[in-house]
Amino acid sequence: MAQKFRVVIVGGGIAGLALATRLGDSIGKSGRAEITLVDKSFAHVWKPMLHCFAAGTAANENDRISFLSQASRHHFEFWPGEISGMDRKAKTITLAQVIAPTGEVVLDERKLEYDALVLSIGSCANDFGTPGVAKHCLFIDNLVDASGFNDRFRTELLKAFGNNEQLDIAIVGGGATGTQLAAELHKALDLASLYSFGKKPPKLNITLLEAGPRILPAFPEAVSAAAQKELEAIGVSVKTSAMVSGADEKGFMLKDGTRIPATLRVWAAGVKAPEVTRKFGELKLSRSGQLEVRPTLQLVEDDSIFAMGDCAFIADKPVAPTAQAARQQAHHLARHLPAWINGRAVPPFKFSNKGAVVALGDYNGWGTFPGGKVFGGGWLRGISARMVHLMLYRQHQFEIYGPFRGMISCLVDWLDVFVRPSVRLD
């Protein structure tokens, strides 16, 4: 029996899971190819919601999509593991050991063979080599990080509550992630206070540090100003032009000599590709470690390897590392990879900007159309932008689950409001 064509997709984020699902339903289901998805986690979450998991306001298991369940329903295989190396000549990738929290080796190092490899390993915050950041700061680059931060947040919140003390949190990075996290943490405390039996909740002191002249630099200045005003109204201290020079176990140091005390220190600044891209051999990388690809999303050096999403850099026409770009690239490859397997060329990818949206919890929200026109804010407190944010999430659920299961998912979310607390308490 002839060996099926093997497509290995590394990374189960927005792009990776969408591509695995679509290819599984087409060439996987028909038996034309064997589709394998690799990810270090066992569940997928919509990355623009990571700040909600970090704050504990999205604890519903329905917001996590099991890779194993998705694979069984959509005709692809799932392998847990984190890519640690690649042999382009042998057409294999190496997966690192899977180690339990107890230190036990669950799975040894393994190798996977491929005929076509798609790298969708996302991105992480960039500490720019700032002293102390790697050792003393928390990150929320993925679900594991977000869950770890939430554990620390709840622990420190309990200490502050029990000792009647203030909890100081400092977040570096005034982009969408840091800005939304600051608002979501305040929302979490507001919700938790509903379950405190009348006791006064601890004071939460959040400082948002941005090295540039304004927060949300990807949005128009009007949105930046309105967002800063909203954050300050709920008690967040916003400091712009605040360059961090170092971090320790007690807080951050700024270049002007100012010290920002913080029990919890979060780094959400900058974007770079995971360090593993530098272990793939002689591949052309961008300054931030992204894999350089042609407009077809194929590596400059290898036609059988594709890269998409935040880890890919199209030198001819760079695309910002956003969820919508990753999704469009996944759709492009899902449409053209089946024909490429049969010898046809993949056409160049063309990005279509649909605008952007930012939602500050339930407090406010704004969006921009491709032409730069702003919507949201105003007397409705940004309900239009927050609804767009929710609709984008529902669109993602429908794409992954399908129409019927997508509707059931929405119904379960709605019913869940009446059963579970609206913030994670345990």
Looking at the fold, whether 137 and 259 belong to one and the same domain comes out as yes
Looking at the fold, whether 209 and 305 belong to one and the same domain comes out as no
Looking at the fold, whether 108 and 131 belong to one and the same domain comes out as no
| pLDDT score at 231 | 94
Q: How far apart are CA 94 and CA 110, in angstroms?
A: 6
Question: What is the chain's Cα-based Rg?
Answer: 22
Looking at the fold, whether 260 and 140 belong to one and the same domain comes out as yes
Helix (H) or strand (E) holding 70: helix 67-73
Asked whether the beta carbons of 379 and 391 are under 8 A apart, the reply is no
237 occurs within a structural domain? yes
Asked whether the beta carbons of 268 and 177 are under 8 A apart, the reply is yes
Looking at the fold, whether 131 and 228 belong to one and the same domain comes out as yes
pLDDT tens across the length of the chain (426 residues): 567 999 999 999 999 999 999 999 999 999 999 999 999 888 888 888 888 888 888 765 667 888 999 999 999 999 999 999 999 999 999 999 888 878 888 888 999 999 999 999 999 999 999 999 999 999 999 888 888 899 999 899 888 888 888 899 999 999 999 999 999 998 888 776 655 555 677 788 999 999 999 999 988 998 999 999 999 999 999 999 999 999 999 999 999 999 999 999 999 998 899 999 998 988 999 998 999 999 999 999 999 999 999 999 998 888 988 889 999 999 999 999 999 999 999 999 999 988 888 888 878 888 888 877 888 877 556 677 777 877 887 888 888 888 887 788 778 776 776 656 555 655
Token pair in block for residue 280 = 């793939």
Angle at 140 between CA 137 and CA 145, to 5 degrees: 90
Whether the pTM exceeds 0.85: the reply is yes
Token pair in block for residue 216 = 């949300």
420 occurs within a structural domain? no
258 occurs within a structural domain? yes
Looking at the fold, whether 116 and 139 belong to one and the same domain comes out as no
Q: What is the 3-state secondary structure of 302-355?
A: CCCEEECHHHEEECCCCCCCCHHHHHHHHHHHHHHHHHHHCCCCCCCCCCCCCC
Residue after which a domain boundary falls, among 238, 270, 302? 270
Q: How far apart are CA 43 and CA 345, in angstroms?
A: 33
346-361 residue pLDDT tens: 999 999 988 888 888 8
Residue after which a domain boundary falls, among 341, 373, 390? 341
425 occurs within a structural domain? no
Pinpoint the alpha helices (H) of 124-175: 133-136, 143-163
143 occurs within a structural domain? yes
Tally of domains in the chain? 3
Token pair in block for residue 261 = 């005390």
Which amino acid makes up residue 117? Answer: L
Burial profile 8-40: b = 16 or more Cβ within 10 angstroms, e = fewer? bbbbbbbbbbbbbbbbbbbbbeeeebbbbbbbb
410 occurs within a structural domain? yes
Looking at the fold, whether 278 and 376 belong to one and the same domain comes out as no
Looking at the fold, whether 132 and 213 belong to one and the same domain comes out as yes
Token pair in block for residue 329 = 């690239």
Q: What is the C-alpha end-to-end distance of the chain, expressed in Å?
A: 53
Residue after which a domain boundary falls, among 286, 315, 341? 341
Q: How far apart are CA 235 and CA 215, in angstroms?
A: 16
Separation in Å, CA 368 to CA 30, 115, 220, 365, 374: 41, 41, 8, 11, 4
Q: What is the DSSP letter of 109?
A: -
349 occurs within a structural domain? no
Q: How far apart are CA 218 and CA 132, in angstroms?
A: 28
Structural domain including 397 reads: 354-415
Q: How far apart are CA 169 and CA 410, in angstroms?
A: 33
Looking at the fold, whether 134 and 265 belong to one and the same domain comes out as yes
Helix (H) or strand (E) holding 223: helix 221-233
